[in-house]
Structure 1
Amino acid sequence: MIKMIIEQRRRSLGGGLEVGRVLPFAKQRMVGPFIFFDHMGPFDLPPGVGGQVDVRPHPHIGLSTVTYLFSGDVMHRDSLGYEQAIRPQEVNWMTAGRGITHSERFEHARVHGDHLHGIQAWVALPAEQEETAPSFSHHAGIDLPQWDHDGVAGQLIAGSAYGLTAGAETHSPLFYAHLDMAQGAVAEIPGGYEERAIYVATGAVEFAGTRYESGKMLVLGAGASRVRALERSRVMVLGGDSVGERYIYWNFVSSSKDRLVQAVTDWKAGTMKLPDADDAEFIPLPDEPLPTLRAAR
């Protein structure tokens, strides 16, 4: 059973770049602990592209960011001192906890040009771990178990599903996987979690007798179990157990409105450390009043 269909909404990141925003959605703010889901690209960056396309240093609290690419090359730098390029079928997992800042730069594109395509998701932390120490980890190879069976080439990005467990440390029960499906292939959707969804990144799929094109997320009920590719398709499957109500403002996530106010105050006051290797500029706080905060659940 499909509980809801969410279609991506185009959002500008500035510098001429757009993403497809899926979560949060007005009527479905979260899926399990997943509170944010952006489809990046696909778009082409020409050689010599300017720095206006970069994501300048900015802050986070109360969440983990999960960056996964189908194509392209992005350089991550953060306030813990990590500097790590991410490439296709790798994972950058950054846990903000009580606070971190980072940037994402398209340095490879400036020299060689690039075709960028991927997904960035945020996972809300359980209330008791929202103020944990920030951390960063990069994952590739055996950290991201793969399988290939009956036209479905899968890769587990995070959590546990399909009898496998990925390498990134997670803080609540969840799963997140990438399925590359040949035309006519059928894939199981993992069960055992409170909330689940599939997102059609490319191609088209059939679910419960209905066709769904790329750019759509299907939020599923407990009984849903299989999806069939009507053409070659990239499908993301995700979900997990609820971590409860969350508030979201800009890049901050918390179970407490007061904590979000503190994060805003800290960023405006310049007390959140910038990355040592990228501290010459930053993204200012948006001109959006705090009273518009909405619970995400």
Structure 2
Amino acid sequence: MSYFECPQARIEACEQAGIRQVIVPRTRDIGGFEVARVLPSAQRRTVGPFVFFDQMGLGRFQPGRGLDVRPHPHIGLATVTYLYSGELMHRDSLGTEMVIRPGAVNLMTAGRGIVHSERTPEGSRRTESELFGLQAWLALPVEKEEIDPAFSHHAADELPVIEDRGLAVRLLAGDAFGASSPVPTHSETLYADLQLQAGARVPIDSPHEERALYLAEGAVEIDGQSYQAGQLLVLAPVAALTLSSRGGARVALLGGEPLDGPRHLWWNFVSSRKERIEQAKADWKAGRFEPVPEENDWIPLPER
């Protein structure tokens, strides 16, 4: 997904032990489709390697319509796309064409530079369709910011699923809940999709230094305190707590090791060096990025 300006998130007071911040993202309509910007916010820029986190939808499209994110560039990061419903066609400058469906993971490593587009597939446009999911950007470690670009797809049946008494956890990246995800990452990363049926409980006791819970659907309780969909709960380091839901919920658990230094984020570019972002801006404006095959349009460099 290409970066766009979104109103700043709101921070809410929280005095509960184990929870450092409660952040409520703002949404923006990008042409009949709402996106909630969770990270970065003025209150919290990163959680582990996660420097960007968006909720896409839930959006519904009439026949003949869909999402069309034209080709745009990235450097210095890896994008992780995960859908709850719907389909997206990913195309990139490596020649990749891949439809992502619910439960699968698309991991695109930009490194020194990649260009991609994201569109509703033609087959989905023939009828009413919907799209609901998450997209995150992971900052690459400083020594890997300029690695070669790459793409990997992991189907739903390739990812570990842990089930226990009304709880289903799909592990998207990292090690947790006694399982390991096959999705490759360049730094210690934690990312999981938690589905809680009514009455389910799940302990959150992973040792990662930075962690957060994003409530995508439903409501959860922690020590008697209720939290609603659309909230990001930033957890205190090494805090152990138990998540429960009276009516069912869907929650993303994200985090990992802290970044190895500050990052600059401008439009779709992430880097530890401001001059590298300036170079990427000049390269995109001059047409020096590799194009996406069979795509004849692109998103121009913002004039700001």
Task: Give the TM-score taking structure 2 as reference length.
Answer: 0.91
Alignment partners' CA distance in 2, 1:144 and 1:88: 12
Supply the AA of the counterpart residue of 1:228. Answer: S
Identity of matched residues, %: 51
1:161–1:190 contact (8 Å) kept in structure 2: no
1:191–1:225 contact (8 Å) kept in structure 2: no
Q: Equivalences for 1:204-223 in 2 at 5 Å? A: 204-222=219-237, 223=239
1:75–1:84 contact (8 Å) kept in structure 2: yes
Worse-superposed segment, 4-13 or 28-37: 4-13
Cα shift readout 1:78-113 (whole Å, capped 9, x = no counterpart): 000000000000011000000000000112332222
Cα shift readout 1:182-241 (whole Å, capped 9, x = no counterpart): 112111224211100001000000123211110001000021332111311101111100
Q: Are residue 68 (structure 1) and residue 82 (structure 2) matched?
A: yes
1:81–1:277 contact (8 Å) kept in structure 2: no
* Partner residue of 2:109 out of 60, 70, 95: 95
Pair 168,277 (structure 1): closer, same or farther in 2 beyond 3 Å: farther
Alignment partners' CA distance in 1, 2:195 and 2:246: 12
Q: Are residue 30 (structure 1) and residue 46 (structure 2) matched?
A: yes
Supply the AA of the counterpart residue of 2:36. Answer: G
* Partner residue of 1:77 out of 74, 88, 91: 91
Alignment partners' CA distance in 2, 1:170 and 1:42: 28
Q: CA deviation at 1:17?
A: 1.9
Supply the AA of the counterpart residue of 1:113. Answer: E
Alignment partners' CA distance in 2, 1:193 and 1:127: 20
Supply the AA of the counterpart residue of 1:6. Answer: I
Q: Equivalences for 1:142-153 in 2 at 5 Å? A: 142-153=157-168
* Aligned positions, number: 284
1:2–1:224 contact (8 Å) kept in structure 2: no
Alignment partners' CA distance in 1, 2:298 and 2:126: 23
Secondary structure at the aligned position of 2:174 is classed as strand
Q: Are residue 2 (structure 1) and residue 9 (structure 2) matched?
A: no
Q: CA deviation at 1:165?
A: 1.1
Alignment partners' CA distance in 1, 2:265 and 2:156: 33
1:32–1:195 contact (8 Å) kept in structure 2: yes
Q: Are residue 275 (structure 1) and residue 275 (structure 2) matched?
A: no
Alignment partners' CA distance in 2, 1:90 and 1:273: 27
Q: Equivalences for 1:97-246 in 2 at 5 Å? A: 97-107=111-121, 108-222=123-237, 223-243=239-259, 244-246=261-263
1:80–1:275 contact (8 Å) kept in structure 2: yes
Secondary structure at the aligned position of 2:280 is classed as helix
RMSD (Å), alpha carbons: 1.2
Alignment partners' CA distance in 2, 1:118 and 1:33: 19
Q: CA deviation at 1:139?
A: 0.2
1:46–1:109 contact (8 Å) kept in structure 2: no
Q: What are the ranges of 5 or more consecutive residues in structure 1 without an aligned counterpart? A: 289-297
2:265–2:271 contact (8 Å) kept in structure 1: yes
Alignment partners' CA distance in 2, 1:190 and 1:60: 34
Alignment partners' CA distance in 2, 1:102 and 1:61: 12
Q: What are the ranges of 5 or more consecutive residues in structure 2 without an aligned counterpart? A: 1-17
What's 1:292 paired with? none
1:162–1:190 contact (8 Å) kept in structure 2: no
Q: Are residue 247 (structure 1) and residue 264 (structure 2) matched?
A: yes
Task: Give the TM-score taking structure 1 as reference length.
Answer: 0.93
Q: CA deviation at 1:133?
A: 0.5
Supply the AA of the counterpart residue of 1:246. Answer: R
